Homo-oligomer: A and B are copies of this chain.
Amino acid sequence: MKKRVYEIIEEAEPGNRASEIFDIFLISFISLNAISLVVGTVEEIHQIAPRAFRLFEIVSVAIFTVEYLLRVWSCSVNPRYAHPVLGRLRFMVSPLALIDLLAILPFYMAPFIGLHGLDLRFLRAVRLLAQIVRLSRYFSSMRTLARVLHTRRGELLAVVLVLSLLLVMTSSLIFFAENEAQPDTFANIPQAMWWSVITLTTVGYGDVFPVTVAGRLLAGLIAVVGIGLFALPAGILGSGFMEEIGKGKNATRVCPHCGKEIHE
């Protein structure tokens, strides 16, 4: 019977109806839970039926707790976690089980660390993020994205390193140029980094911008040259993601002359 529970709770293999239904139920329920956590932050909506939100919270945490306990109980079916005690502990510290725990634990912790504003908000945020991570497990395109992050980590690291040095450089320059004219907004180099990031990603909110001639010359130069480098991590992720999605399609090409397949 433990084996049956394990099969149902684990992600469905094609053909296993009971497991598929459980997956659909779980995805819907996690989605509802996430929506409730998001919508619940809107005071106007929350006040319409605060009890309904509370009730749904309790019910959903109850269900997720049962699910979590069943997972821990049945995990020993998996040969990797076969040992009754150590295996279960090893399972509980696996990233997947930790995320599951983070989706419920904050609820139980609420009464203990005090109910003042910040903490409650933090606990809710943790639960919401955990739920979204759980949801993304079932979405193949989210798994693709995670895979891209993993395979391109070398390039990303090299780029992030270069960006860090450039960030310090541009921030020092603009700090030096603008500090005297705007001692509040360019008060120190770490604060000038906010300007650098927002300018080099071309977001440009307009909350901080240079006003001196030297600062504007520098800013123009930095913008024209540096934007391309700050676009790299975004570009690596974006293009890597598109590549992975498109892989299934034209992975094989047939040479038009000899008719043989060319795997690229």
Chain A residues proximal to chain B, CB less than 8 Å:
34, 38-39, 41-43, 117-118, 121-122, 125, 128-129, 132, 135-136, 139, 141-142, 145, 155, 158-159, 161-163, 165, 168-169, 171-173, 175-176, 179-180, 187-191, 193-194, 197-199, 201-207, 209, 216, 219-220, 223-239, 241-242, 245-246, 255-258, 260, 262-263
Contacts and interface: CB of A to CB of B under 8 A. Distances in A.
Contacts of A117: 180
Contacts of A235: 228, 238, 242
B188 A198 contact: no
Contacts of A255: 257
Given A128-B172, A202-B201, A204-B205, A224 B228 contact: no
A46 to B, nearest CB: 9
A162 B175 contact: no
B201 A224 contact: yes
A155 to B, nearest CB: 6
Contacts of A233: 224-225, 228
